[in-house]
Amino acid sequence: MWIFANSLALVGALLFSALAVAQEGNVLYQGNVNIPRDIAFGEQTVARGSCQIALTEMGGETWFVLSKSGQEVSRDLAIEWPASELPTQGMQSEILKDGEYFRIRVRRGDSVYFIHYLIKS
């Protein structure tokens, strides 16, 4: 009985934590992106394939949150640039610099937010 009660408490705590993370911040943009090759995020590798992307305001900063199968795989600060200097409509992704980097950019109002990932060789 003690094991059952502890297991139930653990499941409840995990569920509460997952809901708190999912509701964290103000989502400015949400969509899907296809990652054509494996990319690196710090020490972590994100496998190629379809991912969910969210541009989110948290703590006065704008963040990119990348998720696969409902699990967050990366979170990093977005770089903000004036839309007049970097023409973008909606969300775009592209491979840059001879296949070394993968960029995701999202236009929101008069700004374009972007992030770069290193492509794994």
Q: For each of the chain's 121 residues, which pLDDT tens digit applies?
A: 545 444 444 444 433 433 334 447 899 999 999 999 999 988 889 999 999 999 999 999 999 999 999 999 999 999 999 999 988 899 999 999 889 999 999 999 999 999 999 999 7
Give the pLDDT confidence score for residue 3 in this predicted structure. Answer: 56
Beta bridge partners of 77: 63
Classify the phi-psi angles of 42: left when phi > 0, otherwise alpha if psi is within -120 to 50, otherwise beta.
left
Helices (H), the chain: 2-22
Structure tokens at 24: 């964290």
